Structure 1
């Protein structure tokens, strides 16, 4: 979720509000120095390498990294002649990114007429995430978007009893589920497979990708589509939910200590698309 995406405090769908005497502007942009070395690779060539990246948080968008021009390979940028207008930040010049025998149009941009209050973005280049081969922090590949310091996941054990039902059928019953708290989202309850009647789970084709948890597989249960999901190879940071199953309370009946779990703000998630050229093996190898 983070600062400006999904239900974050600067997003249009924020579930909280600022305690101020006067209403804040509908759109607030937030920029700050990343304080991490970030690199960009295109056609097996490092075209940007900087320890002075600015990350822009804009409502309804993932964080975007802006590199100072002096840390970008100028030969990789070919002006396209295309100018668009950003509603808050003014004129935007687009570039074709070129390296070796490969070029991709509209793969980078720069603001050319910034208002005074946004001057720190002057002379900085951003790269379209899926147009590049990869982004790195130090020697580790970063998936999905630039690092969001305001995204947090906490996983807790619980001694509450969780039960999942479809009509009169008990699909799962566990006395030791875990609960995952993720910034801005409703709590997610995960159940060990030993506590699930797995013949009730019908795998479906297609996966989604979470930059923080990995590739997600889904199940239908009876007539309820995408009623459950699992991260079969969850990233190490969230290894406690690896291969456990969570259930969608707006599609099946989920009971916690006998009380039905009702959908709440932050229940619906906008799935993140997989990075361009990124396959399941690369996601798992992260």
Structure 2
């Protein structure tokens, strides 16, 4: 979750509310300087490089990075006849992005008739994330979407009693699980494998990727498909959950201190697709 997506404060499904006397606008957009050097690679070339990137948080979307036109290579943007109108930011011009022999239409855009309150985006262009080869902060590739500084993960050791059952079988029982608190989500509970009946877990096909935790593997439990998951080699920032197993409370019974957990509304993940030319080594940077 971030500031404006999943259950963030500016998202349509926000779990909190602003303590103000009157109603807020239906949609609130938030723009701020990223304060990190960000670069874009396309066609084997660096096409944009700036320390003056503005990040736009728009309700229900991942954050988008806007580069000053002066930071984009002069030969990169080719105007097209395609235009659209953003519901909040007005008319939008689209560009073909070109580098050498490589060219992708409608791969960048600029808001050309911004209202006065949105001048922070004036003279800036954004690149379609999956149309580019890669985005970098300094020399490190950023995958999934622009990093959201309002996304936070905290991991805490606990002595609470966690029991996982499916049908008549105890799949896991632990008095020392880890609680993972991720911005805007209900807590997720990760169980050491020593406290899991691993014979109940059948590896499921397919893995997913989290820009903040890494590659995720799934397990079926009898007829409950993908009822458990594990980050086998979680990113160093969240390395404490590496190899531990978490369980989906809408697919199996998860009891915490004898209280059954339920999947809370808004817990589904907003899909972002797979980055172009993303290798497993880059995604699995543990």
TM over 0.5: yes
Deviation per residue, 1:28-73 (Å, 9 max, x gap): 0000001111110111111000010000000011000000001111
Residue 5 of structure 1: CA displacement? 0.7
Judge conservation of contact 1:92–1:111 (CA < 8 Å) in 2. yes
Report SS of the residue matched to 1:130: helix
Residue 229 of structure 1: CA displacement? 0.7
Report SS of the residue matched to 2:265: coil
Residue 280 of structure 1: CA displacement? 2.1
Matched, 1:182 2:182: yes
Judge conservation of contact 2:202–2:219 (CA < 8 Å) in 1. yes
Judge conservation of contact 1:210–1:271 (CA < 8 Å) in 2. no
Partner of 2:128: 128
Report SS of the residue matched to 1:120: helix
Q: TM (normalized to structure 2)?
A: 0.97
Residue 266 of structure 1: CA displacement? 4.1
Q: How does 1:31-180 map to 2 (within 5 A)?
A: 31-180=31-180
Two-structure CA RMSD over aligned residues (Å): 1.1
Judge conservation of contact 2:6–2:267 (CA < 8 Å) in 1. no
Residue 165 of structure 1: CA displacement? 0.2
Q: Distance in 1 between matches of 2:272 and 2:223?
A: 25
Judge conservation of contact 1:185–1:265 (CA < 8 Å) in 2. no
Q: Distance in 1 between matches of 2:67 and 2:208?
A: 29
Q: Distance in 2 between matches of 1:283 and 1:177?
A: 26
Q: Distance in 2 between matches of 1:26 and 1:198?
A: 47
Which of 120-129 and 201-210 deviates more? 201-210
Judge conservation of contact 2:235–2:285 (CA < 8 Å) in 1. no
Residue 98 of structure 1: CA displacement? 0.5
Residue 9 of structure 1: CA displacement? 0.6
Partner of 2:221: 221
Report SS of the residue matched to 1:204: strand
Matched, 1:205 2:208: no
Residue 268 of structure 1: CA displacement? 2.6
Report SS of the residue matched to 2:75: helix
Residue 244 of structure 1: CA displacement? 0.8
Deviation per residue, 1:211-259 (Å, 9 max, x gap): 1001111111111111111111110000000111100111100011222
Residue 203 of structure 1: CA displacement? 1.2
Report SS of the residue matched to 1:240: helix
Q: Distance in 2 between matches of 1:160 and 1:268?
A: 25
Deviation per residue, 1:55-108 (Å, 9 max, x gap): 000001100000000111120111111110100001111111100111111110
Matched, 1:269 2:265: no
Partner of 2:237: 237
Judge conservation of contact 1:210–1:272 (CA < 8 Å) in 2. no
Unaligned runs of at least 5 residues, structure 2 = none
Partner of 2:281: 281
Judge conservation of contact 1:209–1:273 (CA < 8 Å) in 2. no
Report SS of the residue matched to 2:284: helix
Judge conservation of contact 2:208–2:216 (CA < 8 Å) in 1. yes
Report SS of the residue matched to 1:75: coil
Unaligned runs of at least 5 residues, structure 1 = none
Q: Distance in 2 between matches of 1:240 and 1:151?
A: 18
Residue 265 of structure 1: CA displacement? 3.3
Partner of 1:194: 194
Q: How does 1:239-254 map to 2 (within 5 A)?
A: 239-254=239-254
Alignment length, in residue pairs? 286
